[in-house]
């Protein structure tokens, strides 16, 4: 999709409306051929910025201008198998737990039931924890600054994320390993491990709800916000979203915007929510019965996911100005820790050095 949109904008052949992923928003805006939507929204009686979740508006706002309307979104939440916690006699995770609380509970569940926390060396799951611990997000205004992965805050979060594998966190020693990767439990991704009840806990988004409903509708589970960092008491999260954008050329702009108004209308978004397809970007949908008075565990998970996106510390899933190389670098560092090839400090220092090289190559800092 990214290549298709970029090619269409470059050749002035882009369709009247197209998807814009938060991950590559800057790439398409930098072509200079994206239509800023601010004036169209100001003139609209159907769609206003205030109608949308603030964090989603900010996701598609660059240089003070809004370039896409979020169609739906997801954020990260922690799913837990209630029966496995009950079997172990361990209190469920809560949204008030910090890093230490979570590790104590997950270690105990695995020790008594044999059901691990299933995690992969995935920066998309790890980085919000690092942000919550105080690691700065490298943004366009970070020119000249060093890569943050070697910071004390980043290393604290990496200790927490990898503790189920390394069995240690901030001087604490855990009696045995209580984490496994999705491949360790013969599944394709952590969500599959969860709905097959091979995992006591996973970090996923609302996208896990339909697979549970389809594959294991009687699974007894709940979900909570990501934990509070043990050093700051703060929380972090990513917003995963796709929006509708328009080119700055073409004869159908007015009609195209009317279509965007229609497909992001309260009625259209209510249909998406009630069909279980995704979470709506309009604030008013919080008053829909599915979110205001959820009747089952699936709807309760949707509500937790919806609310998590609006909490302080939620940031768009994008890595300007480095792009995907930012994620690749931290994934490589986490993999070394998971595999026992390096300790947390050395792996994070190496990831910082690698990212520094990328910053030099991009002209964002001197060697």
pLDDT of 141: 54
Query: What is the per-residue pLDDT across 268-286, written as a single tens digit (0 to 9) for each?
Result: 999 988 887 789 999 999 9
Residue 347: which of 145, 159, 203 has the closest Cα? 159
- CATH 3.40.190.10 in the chain is located at 2-74+240-316, 77-236+319-361
Instruction: Indicate the pLDDT class of residue 139, thresholds 50, 70 and 90.
Output: low
Q: 117-118 and 179-180: which strand pairing?
A: parallel
Instruction: Indicate the pLDDT class of residue 113, thresholds 50, 70 and 90.
Output: very high
| Torsion angles phi and psi, residue 279, rounded to 5 | -95, 135
Residue 140 predicted with pLDDT over 60:
no
| Averaged pLDDT for residues 219-246 | 97
pLDDT of 298: 95
C-alpha span between 220 and 195 (Å, rounded): 10
DSSP 229: P
Residue 258: which of 250, 246, 241, 249 has the closest Cα? 246
pLDDT of 144: 59
Least-confidence region, from 173-177, 224-228, 234-238, 277-281:
277-281
pLDDT of 364: 78
| Averaged pLDDT for residues 120-146 | 85
The H or E element containing residue 221 is strand 221-224
| Averaged pLDDT for residues 172-193 | 98
| Averaged pLDDT for residues 92-100 | 98
State the chain's mean pLDDT as an integer. Answer: 94
End-to-end CA distance of the chain: 35
C-alpha span between 43 and 329 (Å, rounded): 44
DSSP 200: S
Residue 345 predicted with pLDDT over 80:
yes
- The CATH code belonging to domain 77-236+319-361 is 3.40.190.10
Instruction: Indicate the pLDDT class of residue 147, thresholds 50, 70 and 90.
Output: confident
Residue 142 predicted with pLDDT over 70:
no
Query: What is the per-residue pLDDT across 23-47, written as a single tens digit (0 to 9) for each?
Result: 999 999 999 999 999 999 999 999 9
Into which CATH architecture does domain 2-74+240-316 fall? 3-Layer(aba) Sandwich (3.40)
pLDDT of 131: 96
Q: How many CA atoms lie within 13 A of 58 on its CB side?
A: 14
| Averaged pLDDT for residues 256-262 | 97
Angle at 172 between CA 167 and CA 174, to 5 degrees: 35
Considering the chain, what percentage of its residues have pLDDT values greater than 90? 87
Query: What is the per-residue pLDDT across 78-94, written as a single tens digit (0 to 9) for each?
Result: 999 999 999 999 999 99
pLDDT of 159: 98
């Amino acid at each position: 999709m990214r290549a298709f949109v970029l090619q269409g904008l470059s050749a002035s052949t882009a369709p009247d409306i197209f998807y814009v992923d938060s991950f590559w928003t800057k790439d398409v805006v930098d072509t200079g051929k994206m239509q800023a939507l601010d004036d169209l929204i100001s003139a609209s009686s159907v769609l206003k910025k205030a109608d949308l979740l603030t964090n989603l508006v900010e996701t598609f706002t660059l240089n003070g201008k809004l370039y896409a309307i979020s169609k739906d979104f997801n954020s990260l939440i922690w799913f837990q198998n209630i029966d496995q916690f009950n079997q172990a006699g361990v209190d469920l995770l809560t949204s008030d737990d910090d890093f230490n609380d979570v590790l104590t509970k997950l270690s105990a569940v695995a020790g008594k039931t044999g059901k691990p926390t299933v995690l992969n060396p995935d920066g998309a799951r790890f980085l919000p924890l690092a942000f919550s611990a105080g690691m700065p997000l490298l943004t366009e205004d970070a020119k000249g600054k060093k890569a943050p992965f070697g910071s004390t805050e980043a290393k604290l979060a990496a200790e927490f994320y990898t503790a189920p594998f390394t069995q240690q966190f901030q001087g604490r020693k855990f009696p045995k390993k209580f984490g496994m990767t999705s491949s360790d439990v013969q599944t394709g991704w952590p969500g599959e491990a969860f709905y097959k009840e091979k995992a006591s806990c996973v970090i996923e988004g609302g996208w896990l709800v339909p697979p549970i409903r389809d594959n294991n509708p009687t699974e007894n589970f709940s979900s909570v916000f990501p934990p509070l960092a043990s050093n700051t008491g703060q929380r972090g999260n990513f917003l995963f979203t796709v929006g509708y954008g328009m080119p700055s050329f073409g004869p159908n702009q007015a009609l195209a915007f009317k279509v965007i108004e229609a497909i992001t209308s309260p009625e259209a978004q209510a249909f998406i929510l009630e069909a279980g397809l995704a979470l709506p970007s309009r604030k008013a949908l919080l008053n829909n019965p599915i979110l205001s008075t959820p009747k089952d565990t699936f709807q309760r998970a949707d509500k937790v996911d919806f609310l998590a996106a609006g909490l302080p510390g939620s940031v768009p899933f994008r890595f300007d100005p480095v792009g995907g190389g930012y994620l690749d670098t931290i994934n490589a560092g986490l993999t070394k820790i998971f595999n026992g090839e390096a300790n947390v400090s050395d792996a994070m220092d190496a990831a910082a050095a690698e990212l520094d090289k990328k910053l030099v190559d991009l002209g964002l800092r001197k060697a």
